[in-house]
């Protein structure tokens, strides 16, 4: 378990080195640590937990704080940020309803949060005490093995993230991000809802807001993208992907985008 966590930490250091971050948003639908627990044990944890209201802009925890709680977004939106060597604040991940925050921090040897979590809107957060979480895990060796597998998969996803952010250009990152949103939202037609502002979106794909604006205009001029309020419609996914030298398969549900 410790070896897995060390590998995760080294990968995150690499992300910092290249000043890249998650091209991923937690839509509350991906598998989480709590999904591994049998229903009875999960119910016990949630019954023992407390719910706290955080106003927009409030900090759940700061980098370096002692990791005492696992957080679950009951309602609202939370961003996970880190101060980069350049001095910029980078958003590494955005959590919506049912998103689970600080999973890895529950097991890290230094027992502190590696990033800062901030409520972007008024949010209700479920707080599960770390000792109670670890106690439930200690009762089941089978569950502990499942958690090791879960973390191994996270390592694979982190490695894919490094590849995606260091080997593709801004247009490709944007299209890959849209593909991920479409998969998470499971929409039949190519109408993708943006769950946050364009400023946050630009941060997620490592570009400046003005660069994203130019990219959107370019794709709209080519009739490859249509903006409808806070939604983006893709009239021809195959043509869109070909224009950026990407495979259309990235929009398929079985295709994993890191």
Q: How far apart are CA 104 and CA 92, in angstroms?
A: 14
- The pLDDT assigned to 7 comes to 44
Whether residues 19 and 87 fall in one domain: yes
How far is the C-alpha of 41 from the C-alpha of 129, rounded, in Å? 14
Both 176 and 153 in a single domain? no
Boundary of a domain, candidates 113, 141, 166: 166
Query: Minimal CA–CA distance to 190: which of 205, 177, 178?
Result: 178
Strand partners, 54: 123
Q: Phi/psi at 118 (nearest 5 deg)? A: -130, 135
CATH number for the domain including 230?
1.10.10.10
Query: Are the CB atoms for 193 and 231 separated by under 8 Å?
Result: yes
Lookup: tokens for 186: 């499971």
Query: What pLDDT score does 253 carry?
Result: 61
pLDDT tens profile 172-189: 889 988 888 888 777 666
Per-residue model confidence (pLDDT) at position 36: 93
H runs (alpha helix) in 121-188: 130-138, 141-167, 170-185
Q: Which of 166, 187, 215 delimits the end of a domain? A: 166
Cβ–Cβ contacts within 10 Å for residue 63, how many?
A: 14
- Give the per-residue pLDDT at 29: 60
CA distances from 206 to 6, 20, 23, 203 (A): 26, 7, 9, 5
- Mind giving me the DSSP string for 77-105? -EEEEEE-TTS-EEEEEEE-TT-EE-TGG
Together in a domain, 153 and 52 = yes
Q: Which of 131, 150, 166 is the last residue of a domain?
A: 166
Q: What is the CATH number of the domain that holds 125?
A: 2.60.120.10
Calpha distance 166→194 (Å, rounded): 24
pLDDT of amino acid 123? 97
Beta bridge partners of 233: 191, 226
pLDDT-flagged residues of the chain (< 70): 1-29, 85-87, 161-167, 187-189, 253-258
Put simply, whether the predicted model's pTM sits higher than 0.85 gets the answer no
Say if 257 falls within a structural domain: no
The dihedral formed by the CA atoms of 192, 195, 198 and 200, expressed in degrees to the nearest 10: -140
Looking at the fold, whether 129 and 178 belong to one and the same domain comes out as: no
Does one domain contain both 218 and 121?
A: no
Please check whether residues 14 and 119 belong to one and the same domain: yes
Say if residue 64 is in the same domain as residue 130.
yes
Number of domains forming the structure of the chain: 2
CA 66, CA 81: separation in Å to the nearest integer? 17
Bridge partners (DSSP) listed for residue 91: 81
- Report if residue 217 sits inside a domain: yes
As a residue count, the chain comes to 258
Is residue 8 located within the same domain as residue 129? yes
- Identify whether 212 is part of a domain: yes
One domain for residues 125 and 231 = no
**How far apart (Å, rounded) are the C-alpha atoms in residues 109 and 208?**
36
Pair (96, 200) in one structural domain: no
Q: d(Cα 104, Cα 38) in Å, to the nearest integer?
A: 19
Instruction: Tell whether 103 and 224 lie within a shared domain.
Output: no
Per-residue model confidence as pLDDT tens digits over 101-135:
999 899 888 889 999 999 999 999 999 999 999 99
List the domain range (segments joined by +) for residue 41: 2-166
Looking at the fold, whether 186 and 221 belong to one and the same domain comes out as: yes
- CB 76 within 8 Å of CB 8: no
């Amino acid at each position: 378990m410790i070896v897995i966590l060390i590998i995760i930490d080294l990968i995150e250091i690499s992300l910092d080195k290249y000043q890249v971050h998650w091209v991923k948003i937690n839509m509350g639908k991906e598998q989480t640590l709590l999904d591994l627990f049998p229903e009875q044990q999960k119910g016990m944890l949630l019954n023992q937990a407390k719910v706290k209201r955080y106003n927009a802009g409030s900090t759940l925890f700061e980098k370096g704080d002692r990791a005492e709680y696992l957080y679950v977004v009951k309602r609202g939106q939370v961003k996970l940020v880190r101060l980069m060597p350049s001095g910029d604040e980078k958003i590494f991940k955005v959590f919506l309803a049912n998103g689970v925050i600080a999973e890895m921090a529950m097991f890290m040897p230094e027992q502190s949060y590696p990033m800062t979590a901030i409520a972007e809107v008024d949010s209700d957060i479920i707080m599960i005490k770390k000792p109670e979480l670890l106690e439930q895990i200690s009762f089941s060796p089978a569950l502990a093995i499942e958690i090791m597998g879960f973390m191994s998969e996270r390592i694979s996803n982190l490695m894919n993230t490094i590849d995606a952010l260091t080997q593709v250009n801004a247009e490709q990152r944007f299209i890959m991000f849209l593909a991920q949103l479409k998969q998470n939202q499971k929409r039949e037609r190519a109408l993708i809802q943006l769950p946050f502002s364009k400023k946050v979106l630009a941060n997620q794909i490592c570009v400046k807001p003005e660069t994203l604006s130019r990219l959107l205009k370019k794709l709209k001029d080519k009739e490859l993208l249509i903006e409808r309020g806070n939604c983006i419609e893709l009239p021809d996914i195959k043509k869109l992907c070909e224009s950026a030298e990407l495979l259309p398969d990235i929009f398929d549900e079985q295709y994993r985008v890191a």
